[in-house]
Structure 1
Amino acid sequence: MHAFLRRFLAPRWQHPDAEVRCQAVSRLDPARPEQRQALETLCLDSASSVRQAALERIVSPDTLIRLLEQAPDSPEIQHRLATLLAGTEGGIDLAQRLHVVERLDDRKLLARIALEGDNQQLRLAAVARLKEEDDLIAQACDNGIAAVRHAAATRVTSEAGLQRLAQQARRDRQVVRHARERLNRLRHDAATLAAAHQQRETLLSKLEAHARALWEPLYGGRYRHLAREWEALGDLPDAEQERRFQEASLGCRKVISDHEAQEHAIAESDRRREQAAEARESLLEALEDSLASLPRGDRLTGQDIASLRSQKVLLANRWQALSDLHVTDEALRERYDAVLADYDSILHTWERYERHAGEIEQALKAEDTERLAAAVKACQWPRELPSTPLLSRAQSLLAGQQQPVEGDPEARIERFGQDLEQLEKLLDRGAFKGASRLHQSLRHRADTLPSVSLRPHQARLKRLGARLAELRDWRGFVAGPKREQLCKAIAQLADTREITEAELDRRHRQLVRDWKGLGDAAASRELSDHFRSNSDRIHERLAPWRERQAAERARNLEARTALCDQLEALLDSPATNADPDALRRIRDQAREEWRRHSPVPREQAQIIARRFGRIRFALQGLIDQRAKEVADAKQGLIDEARKLLEEQSLSPAMRAEKAKTLQQRWRELGRAPRGEEQTLWREFRALCDQIFALREAQRDDRAQQARERLDAMQALIDRLDAWQPARSGDSPVLESAIEQASALEPLPPGRRAEGMRRRWSGIVRTRRERLSRLAMLEEVQRWQACRPLLDAHLAADAACLEQGRCEDVPLDSALDLSPAIRKAHEQRNHARRHPAPRETVSERLARLRVHLSLLAMGRISQHDEPLRLAIQVERLNEGLGRELSRAEEIRIVLCNLLATGPVSSEQWEREASELDALLTRLTRLPPP
């Protein structure tokens, strides 16, 4: 009855019949807003004839564009809009149509306007809005206006599009010609670019290979040649090629710069090494000359020994400083050891002489020959050294002479000739100082030798003296300007204030060495006083700095001494489990700290250096001992790893864990000796790799099982996803699938497993929801089956309320009703015999409607809000023991609806439509 009233009172354009709606279109006025809205609604009607009739009444392109956005696939809207914009119908002015076309994005509509437009400007505007190359090719081939064809053809840029245009544009030869020209030009440009790109790629490959190569003599030239070839190319490289070129160039320049730096470092090292060798050579020559000049003298005094000591200390300090920086040559080292041995021999001889000098003097005073002979013999004075004055007196007394004798004349003459030969060698070598001392000794000895025996050597001595005088004059000739230059240089240095104290001291020492190197050549008191006064000025300026240097040397000496004390304490009580790596770090750090605390006072430098050398030797011995112990311990670990590999009672995982423990112990042990560490590690690593390979094999087996579980789970998911329950009684199928999924748990961790769990949960939730909706549908269907019983009760209620005849409704035995429905039927008959107030019945009906709306997820009006809250509270209270399903709640609500009465016709009409809608809503199943 309500549906009929709605159809009767509804407007004709909303009539169910399409012909009636089509007839109603002609009565709608587009000028009126409400009727224009109706026309727009009819433009989207389900019937094609209605849409066509409604669109013919629309003449506004903006309205059609809005409708096209709502229904983009509607051919009627597209046809109507194209007809209006093309100018075929509607009479819209050109400016408005151009404005609309400039805002369009529909390619089909634009293509049609470009083909059918009534104006060239309109067609050009439509072509300008086209973006797809296929549409442009179609316009260039099929458009009836040449300008439009040319405009479309100009925008075709791809090689495939130009080729299609040249093949299909038979209508316009100009389009074909231009397309072929552009196609040929494009292919030529592409070929040129490809050739240039390939050329650059070839150059890049060569340059990158050159950057990876080692340096060779032609390395720099080849790099510059490749760089010039790259720059000579006419095209521009892309970003990737430019990046690769810069990286390769940077690598080549790095190789060249590294080689140059290495060559410079090697050259500088060689230069410094040569300078150090020259300095060592000069020091050795000076000491060798001093030692060689001692046997040629007439007497050996304490002054000669003191001078020799000071020269030896200077040599040792300088030698040690040079040895710290550069390795000593083996030949120089042997010469140095030989010179030190000669020096030690002379020094020991002198020390023995000093110990017995007092006894010799006393024996001389007492003229005790026996005691004197014993003392002289105890001195063990070598024959090659000249005697001291005291020994000469003692030897003279022992020989029974009052004056000192010089020994056998023939031996003295022979020795005189040997010294003449040595003097000639010194003059040939240019050693002026040694030659001068030796010549003076020879002249003094010549006065004491017999003239007859000396006559064969006098001419040679005179000739060598002339050569010595010539060498002295030449040195004076050369040394004169040099002395004046040194005086000017030291005066300028004394007046200079811009340089540091260290640089001032270095230059001053160099000038002093150069001055002393001239000896007595061209020496004058005036120049010597001038040089000495300026040197004293520099000494005064450097006095505070030297004090600071002395303090720093003292601190460095204290630091070196403390370092030695610490290392000696370490060596005195080394830990039994000392790590050789830690000892090596201590050794390296000690060496660095030793070098950092430099310089030290010269008199203690050699002593502390020898002490540190002994400590380093002992420390290296401790390191080697501990490294040997580490090697033995690591060999034991290798044996344990081999036994672990052969152990079959342990699982691969347990063996792998034990192997990790062995590896940890291996790392904690430190390093074995260098030659043995690599060999031991390779053997130990091979055994560990075999152990881990067994574990990986086991993991692969587990992974295979995990994949099988995942595949089984995937098959179960697919099977359940394809299954759709048809009735509520199919729930055992779902429960069985859930049990199977539980048996496959736990799934291996990973993204696939997480995705499966999410999909499984969604499928299970969807199937449970469908089963629940099927159960509700079945309840509603059972209710609809007993709808005749409800209608009979409604008729009996109306007769009871209107005529006062309260009769029971008999139960049809043909109906298959549940016990709950039968009980509700009896309660309805009882309620009719004992009617409740009208307001109570209305309240019960409203309550049942709201409850059903909650179950159907329907809308609830504002005035029913208190009922909704009350029903929800009751549902919560009733669900404390066991939560009811929605199907059970629907059954209870429908049974209560059947049991509620008596209901008047007005009350039922007020609730019936909404109850029917709610029941219809409950019968809708979710999409599969």
Structure 2
Amino acid sequence: MPGFLRRLFAPRWQHHDAQVRRLAVDKLDPSHPNQRQALERLCLDGDPDVRRKALERIEAPDTLLRLLGEQPYNPELHRRLIDVLTGKTGGVELSRRLALLESIDDRGLLSAVAMQGDNQQLRLAALARLSAEEDLILQACENGIAAVRHAAAARVSSEIGLQQLAQKARRDRQVMRQARERLNRLKADAASLTAERENRKALLDKLEAHGRAPWEPLYAGRYRHLTREWESMPGLPDASQERRYQDACQRCRKVISDHEAREHAHAQADRRRELATEARESLLEALEESLAGLPRGDLLTEQDIASLRSQKLLLANRWQTLSDLHVTDEALRQRYDAVLADYDRVLTAWERLVTQVPEIEAALSERDAERLAASVDACQWPDTLPPTPLLARARYKLAGEKNTDGDLDARLERFAADLGQLEQLLDRGAFKGASRLHQSLRHRAESLPADRLRPHRATLKRLGARLAELRDWRGFVAGPKREQLCQAIDRLAEESSLTDVELDRQHRQLVRDWKMLGDAAANRQLSEQFRAASDRIHERLAPWRDRLNAERIRNLEARTALCEQLEELLEAPAANADPDALRRIRDHAREEWRRHSPVPRDQSEAIGRRFGRIRYALQGLIDQRAREVADTKRVLVNEARALLERQLPAAARAEEAKMLQQRWRDLGRAPRGEEQTLWREFREICDQIFAVREAQRDDRSQRARQRLEAMQALIDRLDAWQPSRHADSTTLEQALDEAAALEPLPSGRRTEGMRRRWSGIVRARRERLNRLAVAEEIQHWQAYRPLLDAHLKADARLIEQGTVENVAADDHLSLPEDMRTAHQQRNAVRLSPPSEADVAEQLARLRVHLSLLAMGRVSQHDEPLRLAIQVERLNEGLSRELDRAEEVRIVLRNLLATGPVSPDQWAREVGEFDALLTRLTHLPPP
């Protein structure tokens, strides 16, 4: 079908003419489905009138909402929905409209319903669907129902929104008041949060600085105080602050743990030193007891000397090992030297006797008394030692009597006492001591009378049986043990996987275990087997021992060099040697000594004694310097106490306290217990000094805050003040004096802002006062205008008629001196009038000058005059700067003195002069 036919037969609501479509709306029935669809199509029509007409026929809000979804930017559809939902039209029930609001998200629609709804519940429901803060502010300010306004205001939470509410909610004072209260609370909370954040930041700075500080006696207590202060702070820290806190705490705990570890190490070192001292004392006591027991015996045998040698060798080896690790006490070292001296005397006497044994035996066999006496005298046997059997026999021969031991009763008493000691040794199971004492008793029993010895023989026999039983038991136990040791050393000799060090250690342990068995279950075959295996191990370890000996020689050289260095240090110590540096030298020397170990055995004792003496002397130097440091620190404590009592400014006192603290740090440490006591006392005094300074700082801060508040009040007062006359300049000068009295203000952003505001206010008030001064001058000029008019009339008569006349000032007009002088000059100038061109030039200069004062600019043809006037103003300003009022007065005075002026000239200039004077009287806005 052709297009015109389709248009001809098409429905009228589809007509291309909007007027026809609008008329067709009235003929469509909404109850008929097809026509209803047509109405819905027309609701979305391109013509606003057609849309409006079609929307008036649809009252179902569901349909309107569906159409809104198809065309969201349809203003007529919005208005229709607003009318239906607010109850203006449509007659939709309230419950239905409330249910529809739950599905609406359009802000404009919801805002309109909340603003125009016919029911409070409807408005509150629409308000609940709004979330944008600007919509809530609009409802809180403009809604006609108080409950809706309050509900909207209660949901505004931002600071900007509350500020807008406090400014715009003039319709409801309660909303305005609540907004201001909430805004103040918000600001207070923000200020509190800022203060809390600053406090946390300051505390974190202190904690981090504490974590970087070295340990001191009050370190742990200060750390606990800072952590308790952190935990007592209100609120919760942010993630960065919590991370900084944990890091700082970890550093502080590390410092504390390191110090505790050092203290524990010192305690362990002290404990090891005590154990070493106890071991030395026990070894010394054992050798001292052996040496002291020698004089109590009747005879000194080779077994006694062998036992004494083994004890001395054990003491020397153990003493050297302990001396390599710990310094020996001087008293203990003196005991050690005394024991060694006693041992050397005994051993020397024994060696002299050994050299004379062949001579004594030969003399006894030959019965040569003279030779025997010479040999006995050559032995120089000490009287404090019992004789050997050979020496006793020789003395017997020389004396010619059997009893050479002195009184028989004393010998019997000593014999009985030794029997009791033998029984005690057997009770303890001390086989070696008991065997040696039993042998001595048997020898002595042979030299005592049988009748006197009869009461003790039964006891000696019984104890001998017990000793034999103990010997058999040891042999029963030691036999299998010897076999095990032989098998173990054979396996060790064949073992090839062990290192030389481990092989030597196990070999030494087996040899020690073998020697500990003594003569129990002794067997020649097992002894030879054990010795052969031991020799094979010695051959195998020979290269390693050679390397070890070379290393020991190098260690000995290093230890000797270390001793020489320390001796040089001790020979000429510095007068101000730092005890901490000396302690470091001591510890380093100890580490070096331990590192260069072992050394050759025959020289270890001598070099150990040398190093021990050096360490003792070094420790004495350290103690001496530490005592000197302690004395100096006591002087510093007294100086700090005197400084606390001196009448000085707190800042100067604090600076001197800092200097004392620096001197304290430079001194080094006093002895351990004394250092902590002195530091605690010194720290308490310094804390008091700094507390006074902080209190004064707080006072200064309080006074500074008071000055700031006073300055703020002065600024507000001057800002509210507007001068009305030039005489009010005294008020401004008084305000400037008050501001000068409040100086100096504390530095900061607030102070800078206040200074800028104060400068702007003072500049504005000075400008207003200057304008008022100018206006007052112009007002005074207006009072002089009748006099000027009289002069103009006199000038006109002079020009027109040639008549010269003087103008007299009115009596009621009080002319100032400069104006009176100008008035007289005007009268005088008519007697010899200048040319009209000169008068015109003078008037032009005055006009240009006044124009510069009023507008700051002139026309192009007056530019030369402007330059000349500015040069004159600069020259006049060299001596004294003129303000604008004075310049205006000078111009007006010169205007009064300039003449004669013709009416034409005045007519040309008067309008410009009046306009400029009117412009100068304009005041700036308050």
Given the two structures, how large is their TM-score scaled by the length of structure 2?
A: 0.53
SS in 2 for 1:924: coil
User: Is residue 468 from structure 1 mapped to residue 466 from structure 2 by the alignment?
Assistant: no
Find 2:315's aligned residue among 299, 312, 316.
Answer: 312
- Any residues of structure 2 matched to 1:119-158 within 5 Å, and which? 128=107, 142=120, 148=126, 151-152=129-130
2:605 is matched with 603
CA separation of 1:728/1:358 partners in 2, compared to 1, >3 Å: closer, same or farther?
same
- Which amino acid in structure 2 is aligned with residue 891 of structure 1? R
How far apart, in 2, do the equivalents of 1:820 and 1:114 lie? 87
Find 2:344's aligned residue among 344, 347, 369.
Answer: 347
1:855 is matched with 853
- Any residues of structure 2 matched to 1:685-704 within 5 Å, and which? none
Aligned-CA RMSD value: 7.6
- Any residues of structure 2 matched to 1:85-124 within 5 Å, and which? none
1:540 is matched with 543
1:380 is matched with 382
How far apart, in 2, do the equivalents of 1:153 and 1:693 lie? 54
CA separation of 1:283/1:615 partners in 2, compared to 1, >3 Å: closer, same or farther?
closer
- Which amino acid in structure 2 is aligned with residue 555 of structure 1? A
User: Is residue 770 from structure 1 mapped to residue 773 from structure 2 by the alignment?
Assistant: no
How far apart, in 1, do the equivalents of 2:273 and 2:643 lie? 51
Q: Deviations over 1:861-905 (max 9, x none)?
A: 778777655543442233222222212222344556674897997
How far apart, in 2, do the equivalents of 1:398 and 1:142 lie? 146
| Greater mean deviation of Cα atoms: 863-872 or 673-682 | 673-682
Q: CA deviation at 1:382?
A: 3.4
SS in 1 for 2:878: coil
**How many residue pairs end up in the alignment?**
715
CA separation of 1:438/1:711 partners in 2, compared to 1, >3 Å: closer, same or farther?
closer
1:888 is matched with 886
How far apart, in 2, do the equivalents of 1:135 and 1:518 lie? 113
Find 2:778's aligned residue among 780, 794, 802.
Answer: 780
2:395 is matched with 395
- Any residues of structure 2 matched to 1:629-708 within 5 Å, and which? 652-653=647-648
Q: Deviations over 1:391-423 (max 9, x none)?
A: 45752552359x999999999999999888877
1:84 is matched with none
Task: Please tell me whether the aligned partners of residues 486 and 530 of structure 2 are also in contact (alpha carbons under 8 angstroms).
Answer: yes
How far apart, in 1, do the equivalents of 2:673 and 2:262 lie? 29
How far apart, in 1, do the equivalents of 2:727 and 2:491 lie? 123
How far apart, in 2, do the equivalents of 1:94 and 1:799 lie? 90
- Any residues of structure 2 matched to 1:831-910 within 5 Å, and which? 834-836=835-837, 851-858=849-856, 871-894=869-892, 899=898
SS in 2 for 1:880: helix
Q: Deviations over 1:413-446 (max 9, x none)?
A: 9999988887776676566666777789899999
Q: Deviations over 1:176-231 (max 9, x none)?
A: xxxxxxxxxxxxxxxxxxxxxxxxxxxxxxxxxxxxxxxxxxxxxxxxxxxxxxxx
Q: CA deviation at 1:855?
A: 2.4
SS in 2 for 1:598: helix
SS in 1 for 2:881: coil
5+ long unaligned stretches in structure 1: 1-92, 105-109, 162-166, 170-236, 646-651
User: Is residue 563 from structure 1 mapped to residue 566 from structure 2 by the alignment?
Assistant: yes
Q: CA deviation at 1:923?
A: 1.7
Q: CA deviation at 1:464?
A: 3.5
Task: Please tell me whether the aligned partners of residues 634 and 680 of structure 1 are also in contact (alpha carbons under 8 angstroms).
Answer: no
| Greater mean deviation of Cα atoms: 843-852 or 751-760 | 751-760
How far apart, in 2, do the equivalents of 1:449 and 1:114 lie? 143
How far apart, in 1, do the equivalents of 2:355 and 2:336 lie? 30
How far apart, in 2, do the equivalents of 1:539 and 1:633 lie? 64
How far apart, in 2, do the equivalents of 1:681 and 1:777 lie? 76
How far apart, in 2, do the equivalents of 1:269 and 1:137 lie? 87
SS in 2 for 1:879: helix
How far apart, in 1, do the equivalents of 2:863 and 2:805 lie? 35
| Greater mean deviation of Cα atoms: 884-893 or 658-667 | 658-667
CA separation of 1:562/1:881 partners in 2, compared to 1, >3 Å: closer, same or farther?
same
CA separation of 1:524/1:639 partners in 2, compared to 1, >3 Å: closer, same or farther?
closer
How far apart, in 2, do the equivalents of 1:657 and 1:674 lie? 32
1:615 is matched with 617
CA separation of 1:889/1:516 partners in 2, compared to 1, >3 Å: closer, same or farther?
farther
- Which amino acid in structure 2 is aligned with residue 781 of structure 1? Q
1:822 is matched with 823
- Any residues of structure 2 matched to 1:354-433 within 5 Å, and which? 368=370, 372=374, 375=377, 379-383=381-385, 385-387=386-388, 391=391, 394-399=394-399
How far apart, in 1, do the equivalents of 2:890 and 2:285 lie? 126
- Which amino acid in structure 1 is aligned with residue 854 of structure 2? A
CA separation of 1:379/1:904 partners in 2, compared to 1, >3 Å: closer, same or farther?
farther
How far apart, in 2, do the equivalents of 1:115 and 1:730 lie? 62
How far apart, in 2, do the equivalents of 1:482 and 1:275 lie? 32
Question: Identity across aligned pairs (percent)?
Answer: 39
CA separation of 1:583/1:639 partners in 2, compared to 1, >3 Å: closer, same or farther?
same
Q: Deviations over 1:595-621 (max 9, x none)?
A: 334247521255236524763686588
SS in 2 for 1:884: coil
SS in 2 for 1:495: coil
CA separation of 1:860/1:552 partners in 2, compared to 1, >3 Å: closer, same or farther?
farther
Q: CA deviation at 1:130?
A: 10
Q: CA deviation at 1:116?
A: 9.2
- Any residues of structure 2 matched to 1:16-31 within 5 Å, and which? none
- Any residues of structure 2 matched to 1:56-75 within 5 Å, and which? none
* Higher RCO (C-alpha 8 Å, min separation 6): 2
Task: Please tell me whether the aligned partners of residues 560 and 597 of structure 1 are also in contact (alpha carbons under 8 angstroms).
Answer: no
Task: Please tell me whether the aligned partners of residues 439 and 465 of structure 1 are also in contact (alpha carbons under 8 angstroms).
Answer: no
How far apart, in 2, do the equivalents of 1:512 and 1:411 lie? 44
5+ long unaligned stretches in structure 2: 1-66, 91-96, 141-145, 149-235
How far apart, in 2, do the equivalents of 1:805 and 1:450 lie? 188
How far apart, in 1, do the equivalents of 2:564 and 2:922 lie? 99
SS in 1 for 2:879: coil
CA separation of 1:681/1:527 partners in 2, compared to 1, >3 Å: closer, same or farther?
closer
CA separation of 1:443/1:889 partners in 2, compared to 1, >3 Å: closer, same or farther?
same
CA separation of 1:478/1:593 partners in 2, compared to 1, >3 Å: closer, same or farther?
same
How far apart, in 1, do the equivalents of 2:880 and 2:275 lie? 104
Task: Please tell me whether the aligned partners of residues 830 and 899 of structure 2 are also in contact (alpha carbons under 8 angstroms).
Answer: no
Q: Deviations over 1:318-371 (max 9, x none)?
A: 45457659x99xxxx99x999997765443234356679889999998954797
How far apart, in 2, do the equivalents of 1:585 and 1:639 lie? 26
Task: Please tell me whether the aligned partners of residues 482 and 514 of structure 2 are also in contact (alpha carbons under 8 angstroms).
Answer: no
- Which amino acid in structure 2 is aligned with residue 889 of structure 1? E
How far apart, in 2, do the equivalents of 1:871 and 1:896 lie? 14
Q: Deviations over 1:21-60 (max 9, x none)?
A: xxxxxxxxxxxxxxxxxxxxxxxxxxxxxxxxxxxxxxxx
CA separation of 1:872/1:667 partners in 2, compared to 1, >3 Å: closer, same or farther?
closer
Q: Deviations over 1:773-829 (max 9, x none)?
A: 22211233344555678789999999999xx99998985855776247637856997
- Which amino acid in structure 2 is aligned with residue 836 of structure 1? A
